Structure 1
Amino acid sequence: MGHAGPTSPLEPWPETVRWQPVSRDLIWVEVLRLAAGMGVLLAGLGITWAITGYWLFGLLLALAAVLGGWRVFAIVRAVHAWGYAERDHDLLVRHGLLVRRLSIVPYARMQFVDVSAGPLERAFDLATVQLYTAAAASDARVPGLRPAEASRLRDRLTALGEDRAEGL
């Protein structure tokens, strides 16, 4: 009756795992990043439309505004899709909506763990944990963590990685 893993390849989130969510404040960080870029684009299109009066710029302005609104909706859903789970021998990181991605990083394969926080992340008291392995394709990151949790995760993963590497 109970499955130990996913029920199909299209459902990659194992239900037997206790997923830790990322902070919902990551939504604000991502929306503000989007707003900065969209603000420049919308202002440029609006000024160009006002100067030239050419209808195509008005159409592009409306299209950009609609796409920006859709992207905000997608950001909210995407942040809710992020999660991570610590298991005995590996770390699981999930994310993605349209294309779901589940990264499984064995502790013994980790080369180093990095914690970073840009100015916008620091303004919202967030940090990102980046995991590096020998295979670049297996690198994973967990954004939207509180600094204390990011430090705890970094220290735990580093210790587990060293313990597992000694056994090789």
Structure 2
Amino acid sequence: MTDPAFDALDVEWRGVSPRLAAVRRLLLCPLLLLAGLGVGALVLLLGGGGWAALPLGLGVVGALLASVWVGRAVASWAYAERGEDLLVRHGVLVRRLVVVPYGRMQFVDVTADPVHRLARLATVQLHTGAATSEVVVRGLVPAEAARLRDRLAARGEARAAGL
């Protein structure tokens, strides 16, 4: 389902790597399962008997729901380059579209923490003059992150030179 407020028709949207969903599932789902197991063990120790299985079951259901949610959230991330600006959209419940004119960019960061480096993923973050602006494209393969970084830097310099 397209929404004209969030789906510019004149651009080619690029999604992020599905490996980002795998990394997020790998980090989140075991935590939910361990939390359910821990609470279940505590209930068992306190003499809860048959109630001990309830937290574990809730942990399993939570992990399954989180897995689905993570997949949808990662699938919602996309970016598009236009002649004068970069568009970034994401969100499942609350959708967000950010449009950044190339001339407003001050610098571009590429980062990857150890887990994301292991999964061969990087994040590109744009910095503008506005204190509240946070434009991030997560889950890019390193080659695409480098391409986007170089392209944004070149376009930003070209627009800034005209000021």
- TM-score (ref. length: structure 1): 0.86
Letter in 2 for 1:21: G
d(CA) in 2 for partners of 1:36, 1:69: 11
2:27 pairs with 23, 26, 33, which one? 33
d(CA) in 2 for partners of 1:65, 1:42: 8
1:46 aligns with 2:34: no
**SS of the residue aligned with 1:136?**
coil
1:63 aligns with 2:58: yes
Q: Is the 8 A contact 2:109 2:124 kept in 1?
A: yes
Per the alignment, residue 116 of structure 1 pairs with 111
Per the alignment, residue 24 of structure 1 pairs with 18
1:94 pairs with 89, 93, 104, which one? 89
| CA shift in 2, pair 1:62/1:39, >3 Å | closer
Identity in percent: 49
Long gaps (5+) in structure 1: 1-5
1:139 pairs with 134, 138, 143, which one? 134
Per the alignment, residue 72 of structure 1 pairs with 67
d(CA) in 2 for partners of 1:53, 1:136: 53
Per-residue deviation, 1:74: 0.7
| CA shift in 2, pair 1:43/1:61, >3 Å | closer
d(CA) in 2 for partners of 1:60, 1:136: 43
Deviation by residue 1:89-119 (Cα, 9 ceiling, x = unmatched):
1110111111111111111111111111111
* Corresponding residue pairs, total: 160
